[in-house]
Amino acid sequence: MQNNNLYDGFIYDWWKNLDKIIFFLFISLIILGVFFSLVSTSLIASSKLGTNNYYFFLRHLIFTFIGLTLIIVFSFIREKDVYKVAAILFIIFFVSLLLVPLFGAEVKGSKRWIDFSIVPRFQPIEFLKPFLIIFLSLIIGSRFTSNNYIKFFISALIVFPILLLLALQPDIGQTLLVSSVWLSLILVSGINLIFLNFLIISSLSFLGYLVFYLPKFSYIKLRITAFFDASSKSNYQSQKATDAIIDGGFFGKGIGEGTLNTRVPEAHTDYVISVISEEFGALFILLILLIYLFILFRVFKKIPFEKNNSNKLVLIGSILLIIFQVLIHIGVNISLLPTTGMTLPFLSYGGSSILSSSILAGLILNFTKRKL
């Protein structure tokens, strides 16, 4: 009886101190993701692969329930335990990322997934990103030394191997995402702008060398050069996605009336925002963007009240990881960025993406809870 009262007390304290606005905003995105999967995106995938109409919807639903569990778990555990759990999971998924070049499943010329018979196929970088943010925040925000440049150097020793592994897959979208969030954490921690510019130029120079001089990355070079050539057929997918957004207008064509699914192979993942816009209209997309922006606003409103520097950086890194991913996804869909595979958090189909976003949501809810 006493144990039940203790358990009820934990639940009560968790709910009482939770930022319910952020919680329900995340839930809104999750519900929208399930809705779009039911009426549109899962049907696209099923028609392409010849499966039962609700096969992908049921998979999406299963991943959503697991994601909700992860949100609750990571928002429930104590702050100090978050760092302990993150250290263990970081090592596990970093080792998984190391195994990708050796044992990874190759899909459309890229090795990004681990596909062992004992576990479902998953993308290690998706699960590594939340715990990388925690690890970097712990290093950059710690007080083991007052010299920020030592902290930045140590963080670089962690980030650069990951960026190199991503480049070797190759996965230019995740490389851009991880490097952008890392540089943002360095910027907000009080780095000299001259040094930051040096880091940015060095990183871009390194990526430029990989892309333009090594044969393995020739396809990325092709995509970048094609991006600046309007007549290139390599822009086909992004151009069709942009056309779909335009065709949808403000109010959309209606459920099931979109045609992008027949013209773009990854419409249910990398081009989901265009599918939604074509069928439901630009006003619906505006609503979705407002939800993301309201979460961003709410999190940044909470940050000044957090006294622990590492906790602040976890919040900044987690929300920027979500927002930058949204920006890259939209940028590709409206032809502002070269074509690259990037899902839309909570809305695109994909187990690894949904679970990764859910972990980030759980971390944000944990570190925005009202302090006792």
How far CA 181 is from CA of 59, 60, 184, 185, 237, in Å, comes to 30, 27, 5, 6, 27
How far CA 182 is from CA of 80, 185, 196, 314, 343, in Å, comes to 22, 5, 11, 11, 20
Question: What's residue 111's pLDDT?
Answer: 73
Q: How many domains does the chain have?
A: 1
Mean pLDDT over 343-347 rounds to 91
Torsion of CA 191, 195, 199, 204, to 10 degrees: 120
Domain that holds residue 361: 2-87+125-367
Question: Which segment of 67-76, 143-152, 269-278, 293-302 scores lowest on mean pLDDT?
Answer: 143-152
Mean pLDDT over 299-322 rounds to 93
How far CA 207 is from CA of 82, 101, 160, in Å, comes to 33, 19, 11
Question: Which segment of 13-27, 260-274, 293-307 scores lowest on mean pLDDT?
Answer: 260-274
Is the pLDDT at 204 greater than 80, yes or no? no
pLDDT tens string 151-200: 888 998 999 899 888 888 778 888 889 999 998 998 888 777 777 777 77
The residue with tokens 């990881």 is: 321
Check residues 303 and 250 and name the one with the higher pLDDT. Answer: 303
Confidence of residue 19 (pLDDT cuts 50, 70, 90): very high
**Residue 109 belongs to a domain:** no
Q: Taking the alpha carbons of 233, 236, 238, 243 in that order, is the dihedral positive or negative?
A: positive
**Residue 298 belongs to a domain:** yes
CA dist 108 and 106 (Å) reads 7
Identity of the amino acid at 74: F
**Residue 101 belongs to a domain:** no
CA dist 198 and 188 (Å) reads 16
**Residue 93 belongs to a domain:** no
Count the Cβ atoms, other than its own, within 10 Å of residue 357: 30
Confidence of residue 250 (pLDDT cuts 50, 70, 90): confident
**Residue 114 belongs to a domain:** no
- Report phi then psi at 171, rounded to 5: -140, 85
Confidence of residue 120 (pLDDT cuts 50, 70, 90): confident
CA dist 350 and 270 (Å) reads 10
Are the beta carbons of 178 and 159 closer than 8 angstroms? yes
**Residue 116 belongs to a domain:** no
Question: What's residue 230's pLDDT?
Answer: 58
Identity of the amino acid at 107: V
pLDDT tens string 29-72: 999 999 988 877 666 555 555 555 677 788 889 999 999 999 99
Mean pLDDT over 210-214 rounds to 67
Are the beta carbons of 260 and 278 closer than 8 angstroms? yes
Contacts of 346 by beta carbon, 8 Å cutoff, 6+ apart: 26, 29, 30, 32, 33, 354, 357, 358
Question: What's residue 29's pLDDT?
Answer: 96
**Residue 43 belongs to a domain:** yes
Of residues 273, 253, 265, the one with CA closest to residue 334: 273
**Residue 223 belongs to a domain:** yes
